Amino acid sequence: MTACLKFLRSGKVKDIYELPDGNILFQFSDRVSAFDVKFPTPIPRKGEVLCRFAEFWFKKLPTRNHYVRTEGQDKIIVKKMQMVPIECVVRGYFYGSLVQRWKEGSVKLPDGTTPQLAAKLPTPIFDPTTKSETHDIPISKQDAIDKNLVSKSEYEWLEHTSIEIYQQMFKIADAAGFVLADLKLEFGKIGNEIVLGDSIGPDEYRLWPKESYQVGKTQESFDKQLLRDWLASNGYQKKFEDDRAAGKESVAPHLSDELCHELSSRYIIAYEKITGIKF
């Protein structure tokens, strides 16, 4: 099959090829990125986990999507789409960048919100961003419409559908012993219809074990938040932000074997608990 593939691009975590029939092949890698910086150190078996999670969610969720079939341990074939140029983020908890943006006054929280770290929001909020290979930026409904990224009706459909998917995934995660704190989804068009696209896995959401969840504290995570927390505590997050402000490209540090294997283990545990399938 390799000789028949047309290489399109290499993303943060997957390589993308076009097949002779016009479909697209995603090859998931063991690469990891955080704070929009790619790391050279691979995370063992991460690509396999992301591939299996993508297949699981696309088959489980009722929303129409672009998944066609799985091809081997780390590849899926999907239908070619024209991607919608915003990333659809749904937040169910007061955590991550939402906290700082609220402190800065750049985001409004639902009425009745307790602005305490990791507190559940009264209702999930739709918090989209621009779509970029470098740095995604939060965008308002009006800006998304004014910049012709989407129409008003498309934005409202994306908002409703994204929140609905989050709530469906929240129930599945809850039954498996996890809190799904937030979620990033991508959509695209096949003809005139908007369908769910890209992939869904621990790189696209925050997942906390219910048994250790506690409001007011940094949460134990079964996603790549473990890496983000390590980078923040060692000063790399600020360095990356300073580099970005200065227009410089950040150099990613080498990740220890211990951190890489812990990340790998948590991805696998999350997969097995949520899907009920042995990895």
pLDDT value of position 131: 83
pLDDT value of position 136: 79
CA dist., res. 185 & res. 90, Å (int): 8
The last residue of one of the domains, among 78, 95, 120, is 78
34 and 123, same domain (yes or no): no
99 and 74, same domain (yes or no): no
20 and 6, same domain (yes or no): yes
174 and 74, same domain (yes or no): no
138 and 95, same domain (yes or no): yes
Average pLDDT per consecutive 10 residues, the chain (279 residues; last block may be shorter)? 78 93 96 91 96 98 98 96 97 95 92 93 96 79 96 98 98 98 97 96 95 96 91 94 92 95 96 95
Per DSSP, the three-state class of 129 is: strand
Range of the domain at 198: 83-275
74 and 90, same domain (yes or no): no
The last residue of one of the domains, among 78, 95, 125, is 78
20 and 151, same domain (yes or no): no
**Cβ partners under 8 Å of residue 5, min gap 6:** 17, 18, 19, 25
72 and 97, same domain (yes or no): no
CA dist., res. 253 & res. 11, Å (int): 19
176, 56 contact by CB (below 8 A): no
The last residue of one of the domains, among 56, 78, 100, is 78
CATH number of the CATH domain containing 154: 3.30.470.20
48 and 6, same domain (yes or no): yes
100 and 220, same domain (yes or no): yes
CATH number of the CATH domain containing 20: 3.30.200.20
pLDDT value of position 132: 67
The DSSP letter of residue 40 is: S
pLDDT value of position 27: 97
Report residue 146 CA to chain centroid gap. 26
pLDDT value of position 134: 59
pLDDT value of position 133: 60
- CB 226: neighbour CB atoms within 10 A? 18
15 and 92, same domain (yes or no): no
Structural domains in the chain (count): 2
CA dist., res. 73 & res. 59, Å (int): 17
264 and 185, same domain (yes or no): yes
